[in-house]
Amino acid sequence: MGKPRMIILVRHAQSEGNKNRDIHQIVPDHRVKLTPDGWKQAEEAGKKLRSLLRPNDTLHFFTSPYRRTRETTEGILNSLTSSTPTPSPFPRHTIKVYEEPRLREQDFGNFQPSSTEMGRMWQERADYGHFFYRIPNGESAADAYDRVSGFNESLWRSFGEDDFASVCVIVTHGLMTRVFLMKWYHFSVEYFEDLRNINHCEFVVMKLDSGSGKYSLQNQLRTWSELKRERENSRQEPSSPVPMRKRWGGCQDGVDGDDFARRQRARRQNTAELFEDDADLEQIAETLQKSNPRRKDPTEDLHENQSAQTDAANVHMEPPVSRKRIIFPDRLEVLRAGRDGGGSRSGATSPNRSGSEDSDAEVKERVRSLPFRSSLAMALNGGLDGDGVKHRVRADALGDQSDVEDEEDAKEDAKEVERLEAQDKSFEGSVR
């Protein structure tokens, strides 16, 4: 017979792992079965295959030994050989089916860890490169390429057999389909990385050119670069820059130094000004003293602290950190520590100058110039900002107002393609 006139690559139908990725934590990858929708997809694929064949064609199937690919093959054969609506020209006993372990999916390392860890690993894989990144206790796409190369050579040699079929159908997985094409057509690694995954039960057809003896690819493969160009052309506004990739390494858990950087980052200015306006605090203390003459003058604490700083400066020593308290009628206690209120609210030295270096007017001017007022500063001013307009404060974990509102909404459209790409290459996007 010689070379088959057509080679058809088919990705398996929808599996339980495609619908619920957490199933890989308790079910071995090779035992994951099809969903009810997956069985319907497989039977529809059999009807589609029947429409592509000639009545005199013969068939050889090569399938991955995983349960989802074997069930997909079974579903295809059920509808392909069915006698409804008309008798099939392809009796079941004339079709040869071979299980080929080299067509199995990329090994993802036995039972999968938690979803959080898999998400971290998938992001690391995207940053490192899908072809060369080796799954812990598993394979890289380059490893899968090596075994597909061996299968391609065996397949090519079998074309010389007299009884080889006129149509060869290969039922495998999404990544393995791309790796097969990469080997057959000598795709570069960069082009492989750019290829998007094929859909469940999608056919990739290779037809023999009788003149050249080579197989021409009938499909227009989808790529991420082409999708990005289409999206950019359809946008009225220029696209935003691609976000920076995450930095990895240095720890088996993928810690990249972000926590250390956060500890070293300068503290936000509107946290510092919570306790910096001494003039406002002294004014409040004076008001309290007038309302209750028997109460100890709270400003004495301030004078004591200033005296300690002056004495320490004369002997070239750091001033002691005092933690004096001003008690308000509602028993609210404001801790004063160092330059900026510090303590558990700060964790870092303030970038601002000390109160002794600034006049009261300069301090108030700096507070007014800030884009957002702290909750305490606004409370002292009757809930009004510098323009006398009342605002509702939205606080974060530190008690500071957010610098940018609706930031995620503003970025969502610009990152749509990146989000789709990440989803397509994740468990949720049915990588396997």
Catalytic residues: 12, 105
- Give the other-Cβ count within 10 Å of 150's Cβ: 11
What is residue 328's DSSP assignment?
A: -
* Residue 167 near residue 3, CB atoms below 8 Å: no
Instruction: Give the Cα separation of 379 and 385 in Å (integer).
Output: 10
Q: Which two tokens stand for residue 245?
A: 């990739």
* Residue 42 near residue 34, CB atoms below 8 Å: yes
Distance of CA 199 to the CA centre of its chain: 21
| Tokens 């109160």 found at | 355
Find, among 17, 10, 67, the residue nearest to 42 by Cα.
10
Quick check: helix, strand or coil at residue 11?
Answer: strand
CA triplet 69, 40, 207: central angle to 5 degrees? Answer: 60
CA triplet 371, 273, 302: central angle to 5 degrees? Answer: 160
